[in-house]
Amino acid sequence: MKTEFPYNDTHYWEQLRESISGVTEWSPNILAAELHHIKQLQNDKPLKSTPDQRYEKLLKLFQECEEFDGEKGRAWGGVPFVGENEDFPKIVYWFMKYTLPHIARLLLVELPRVFPDDIPLVDGINSSHLSLSKLQCASLLAMAFFGANTAKCQPLPAGMYQDLLNFDSWIGNPSYSSKAKFFMLMNYFERSRIEIKDEKFEVHRLKLSKQPSLSDWESSKTHLANFTVCDKGGITVSCGADVLQVDFANEYIGGGVLHMGAVQEEIMFSVCPELLTSLMFCSVMAKDEALVLVNAERIARWTGYNTGFKFAGDYVESSSGVCRVAIDANCYGWGMGSIEQYSDEMLLRELNKALVGFDHGFPSPTADVATGNWGCGAFGGSIQLKSMLQWCAASVAGRNVRYFTFGDKNCESLEEIVQDLSQQSVTVGKLMGTILQYCRIYYGKGGDKLGSLFNYITTVLL
């Protein structure tokens, strides 16, 4: 199976190209009209809405934009001063006059040129590795900006891939988190207008050659690795290319990034837009798989989380080659019941998922892993349990851990238990044996009156 492109449909592509190339001067209303026309080309029946109705929020967003007030010489997208004593240009004027024609060129000219053939899907069967130039990434994102991707381009079989890579919800309904994502996308395209680096973005699909059993984990003689609790900062903002950064992923890479989602994975993909291209090629992850995403550049600052997520300006990375690993925790928060995470089956699943995410050579075999409360938000995971499982997996993989708490009060006793276990030179096997004892009692009693995992570990091992 391969990824298809919209220009494979000659009739559709010619109509789209004629329409966009016919624009001599862009404006918010003309952009709305073109986006609406592209949607009409993809539908057999006439659309019920007008461009003004369909893109009402987008037009309002442009009207609300204010003048820039960034650092001297560099602000949104690196836009320079018009003159030494002049203000920054308004975002709408600059975007319409300079950035949007660049996006149109990426779609109409560069996309067919840099993708003369279809690309194999990174599904572990057709391919386990994909390398894209930065220009290829920009061209794919330009296609998504104009919503030019059609249902014919959706990889098969159905249900194995993310939603079609189009930014319809960001552009057609830019509210809450989508507004921040749209500004970051604008920032990305302005950056790419100024410079597209001669570098590669890579995707590697990893799979365990052999899955350890719970007995293997319980008998491990490996000593626990160094574990540093970080109460300030975060994975994306505090770590560089020398650290393996964990993406708290959905099994469908990117999670809810194309919609309203704005938690850890969606924020990572929004501030590093090149990551979004992986949605086109990567099928759903199996329980023994992980995805390593290499050299996606971060281009934005942000504040807030979820509905408070906001774009906070341009960002320039000090180094390239950042490695991020996507591992999907099992979900216990949407009807399955959090008690299930203490079963043998789920313990083994999470241990081996973390292991495949940590046991490889990116960015080096012994580079620290930066992680945190993986699967402990909406997915309903226990911070005490998940932190210990990740510690065991990282130790077996030969990596030290930098654990970011994100200010969660449920991490308050984490540093104390880590210090105590480290001082006693506890092995992975001993810790896992204790965790298994606890979980089997807890699971058998339905979670009733056993106390916390950390207290149990302290009683048994310390």
265 is an active site residue:
yes
The structure tokens listed for 381 are: 């995971």
C-alpha radius of gyration, the chain, whole number: 24
Which residue in the block uniquely carries the two structure tokens 């992923």? 249
Q: How far apart are the first and last CA of the chain?
A: 54
Q: What does the alpha-carbon distance between residue 92 and residue 83 come to, in Å, rounded to a whole number?
A: 19
Residues 6+ apart with CB under 8 A from 260: 169, 176, 177, 178
- The question of whether 44 is a catalytic residue gets the answer no
| Paired tokens of 129 | 């590795």
Close Cβ partners of 421 (under 8 Å, ≥ 6 residues apart): 224, 431, 457, 461, 462
Determine the Cα–Cα distance for residues 257 and 352; give it in Å rounded to an integer.
26
- Residue of 247, 274, 328, 368 marked catalytic: 247
Q: How do strand 200-207 and strand 323-328 relate by DSSP bridges?
A: unpaired
Catalytic pick from 123, 266, 328, 359? Answer: 266
Residue 218 designated active-site: no
Q: Catalytic pick from 34, 190, 202, 265? A: 265
Cβ-Cβ contacts under 8 Å for 390 (sequence gap 6 or more): 354, 371, 374, 401, 403
The region, left, alpha or beta by phi > 0 then psi within -120 to 50, assigned to residue 321 is left
Are 296 and 274 spatial neighbours (Cβ–Cβ below 8 Å)? Answer: yes
Q: Which residues are catalytic?
A: 247, 265-266
